[in-house]
Amino acid sequence: KAGVTQTPRYLIKTRGQQVTLSCSPISGHRSVSWYQQTPGQGLQFLFEYFSETQRNKGNFPGRFSGRQFSNSRSEMNVSTLELGDSALYLCASRLGLPSTDTQYFGPGTRLTVL
Amino acid sequence: AQRVTQPEKLLSVFKGAPVELKCNYSYSGSPELFWYVQYSRQRLQLLLRHISRESIKGFTADLNKGETSFHLKKPFAQEEDSAMYYCARYAGNNRKLIWGLGTSLAVNP
């Protein structure tokens, strides 16, 4: 089975711009979660989608948004980029919502905001 | 706020020595705890979860509710264990995964 894929792998943007990141889950997985990873804050949960609906949300401003399509692929969008948004954005997929379902992580998208 | 604390940023041991990576969590009923590992140039992956009470790659972790700890242990470290280790737990009814900042384990020959 192919693993979780994320595109693009690297991205450079300037302050004020917006960005869209994409995540394709493992085939058959219906849940996709997004995380932000920075050296200072570590891994922080952004949101989780299941069956095209946002099920859980972390403590991030409204500039961070996401969506999930009928094929379970997910996108996250960050508008009005700030320098502090520079981070590795990780996506993880799992079969469903139970905590017993293992999360499988993608390689991440490295976003740099100049 | 619910927290996961990994007090050591870096842990360095020699091959064959015992290793213990510490994880403490803020008290909250019945926590669901996990250890994830990231080897160099690989993806983050689940190592073990406390409900399974399993041993993976020689690692075990015991939930100690009295001390609110979930330390990861291995009796004899191997060089291939060198990696970044993260402790995580599900928090609250909305099931967010809360992460520690990670411990970098270096196993020296």
Render pLDDT for A67-81 as a digit per residue (tens, 0 to 9): 999 999 999 999 999
Q: What was the pLDDT predicted at A9?
A: 97
Q: Name the stretches of chain A with pLDDT < 70.
A: 1
Counts for chain A of helices (H) and strands (E), in that order: 0, 11
Would you give per-residue pLDDT tens digits along chain B (109 residues)? 778 999 999 999 999 999 999 999 987 777 889 999 999 999 999 999 887 778 889 999 988 888 899 999 999 999 999 999 999 998 766 578 899 999 999 999 9
Q: What was the pLDDT predicted at B94?
A: 57
Q: A56 contacts in B (CB within 8 Å)?
A: 94-96
Picking from B81, B89, B76, the residue whose alpha carbon sits closest to that of residue B106 is B81
Chain B residue set in contact with A, beta carbons under 8 Å? 32, 43-46, 49, 51, 86, 88, 90, 94-102
**Geometric angle at alpha carbon A26, from B51 and A89, rounded to 5°:** 85
Q: B56 contacts in A (CB within 8 Å)?
A: none
Are B43 and A92 contacting, i.e. CB atoms less than 8 angstroms apart? no
Task: For residue A105, count CB atoms less than 10 angstroms from its CB and return exposed for 0-12, middle for 13-18, buried for 19 or more.
Answer: buried
Residue of B nearest to A46 (CA): B96
Contact A99 B96 (CB under 8 A): no
Interface size, chain A vs chain B, as Cβ–Cβ contacts under 8 Å: 46
Q: Return the number of other C-beta atoms located less than 10 Å from residue B75's C-beta.
A: 12
Q: B101 contacts in A (CB within 8 Å)?
A: 42
Residue of A nearest to B43 (CA): A107
